[in-house]
Amino acid sequence: MSVERFTQPLPTWREIVRDFGLLYGINGLIGFIFAASGPVAIILTMGSRGGLDQAQLSSWIFGAFFFNSILTIGFCILYRKPMVFFWTIPGTVLVGAALSHLTFSEVVGAYIATGVLMLILGFSGWVRRAMSLVPMPIVMAMVAGVFLQFGLDLVFAVRDGFAIAAPMCAVFVLLSIIGPFGRVLPPLIGALIVGVAAIAGTGRFDLSAEVQLALTAPTFVRPEFSIAALVELVVPLAITVIVVQNGQGFAVLKAARHDPPMNAVTVACGGASLITATIGTISTCLTGPVNALISASGEHHRQYTAGIFVALLGLLFGLFSSLFTSLMLASPPAFIATLAGLAMLRVLQTAMTTAFGGTCTFGALITFLVTLADVPIFNLGAPFWGLVFGCATSWMLERADYTRSLETMCD
């Protein structure tokens, strides 16, 4: 077994309270609001497109926040590091597209299979080897292909809902320009606040459905294991968790002088994914942006308390996810599209830069085009074929680049 050992001795609750402070509370609050805004809008967007009803969406969000928050508290205490777990955003987009031709039960079956795969990789210590199977430019080209629609939807939102989308975009740009103020109030959160004010000012809030302040009752989903769903989703989902999301989380934490336990994180993502899948929640991952926010300032050895605070807020959000889902769905489509689009801009930029800024650019282009075309073959979704055709193209036409890229990932 290759799982890293816990930090000894474990902190007591008295030590945790002593290490906590106003700065870590503010960092945790900002990180939580980020997770509960744009990323939640992405779940609602893709889930609604896939035909999921409000109860299923509430259950998805419950699992994403409640169970992953429990995992976060455990890791922050056991390793004394700011390690927040949520859900894979690229995977959410993949699943949203897959729901057009797969049932939700088949998708949940793929969640479970992905969780088992991650458990095997984590316990065996093969995580680094698995991360090196597909060149990063080709992986990120697939991500860019599935994320591009969010950028287009942002443009359409400005066209169709100018009174709401335009002020949100303006504030996002303004806070991005003004560096010091933007660090106090992150651009996405500023856009969220202005969007809510714009909705209130225009009166475009549809509360025709009854909204109740009640605890969420998760919906159990019986999994169905189909060859089509397993082939189409398991490998791309595992890649988005281990390579894209966890890789980003590892990089962020290492840059902040933390050394995250790679194998333990992979095992935790696999185990949590098996649990959350039963109520329709997508695979767990180590988040990048939230961990970057909570480890950006403060004393190094106290930053883990900000992660615990994020998780405590996440527990509450999960318990009342049905209320928050109702409120979000009652908002104008332009608000959701703008919030999701702004949340994805930097990720799309990074994906584009990584895909076309170095090696394997032709293979990355093929991957991007095949993914973007969204044409299923043998009832398997385009992202899977994008990886297949992109790797094959790069291996045949960019052999030196392809080999060099794999060697770099191994290192």
Residues of the chain with pLDDT under 50: none
Identify whether 9 is preceded by a cis peptide bond (ω within 30 of 0): yes
16 vs 7: CA distance, rounded Å: 14
With respect to residue 363, please indicate whether it lies within any of the assigned structural domains.
no
The pTM is what? 0.80
With respect to residue 353, please indicate whether it lies within any of the assigned structural domains.
no
Identify the residue whose tokens are 């949100």. 168
Signed CA dihedral, 123, 287, 362, 155: sign only: positive
Which range marks the domain in which residue 86 is found?
13-204+221-345
With respect to residue 379, please indicate whether it lies within any of the assigned structural domains.
no
At 318, list the tokens.
Answer: 């999960």
With respect to residue 210, please indicate whether it lies within any of the assigned structural domains.
no
With respect to residue 209, please indicate whether it lies within any of the assigned structural domains.
no
With respect to residue 8, please indicate whether it lies within any of the assigned structural domains.
no
Q: How many domains does the chain have?
A: 1
User: CB-based contacts of 235: which residues, under 8 Å, 6+ apart?
Assistant: 384, 387
**257-280 per-position pLDDT tens digit:** 898 999 999 999 999 999 999 999
Return the pLDDT at 379.
65
**281-301 per-position pLDDT tens digit:** 999 999 988 888 888 788 999
Q: Are 287 and 182 in contact (CB under 8 A)?
A: no
With respect to residue 369, please indicate whether it lies within any of the assigned structural domains.
no
Judged by DSSP in three states, 87 sits in strand
With respect to residue 382, please indicate whether it lies within any of the assigned structural domains.
no
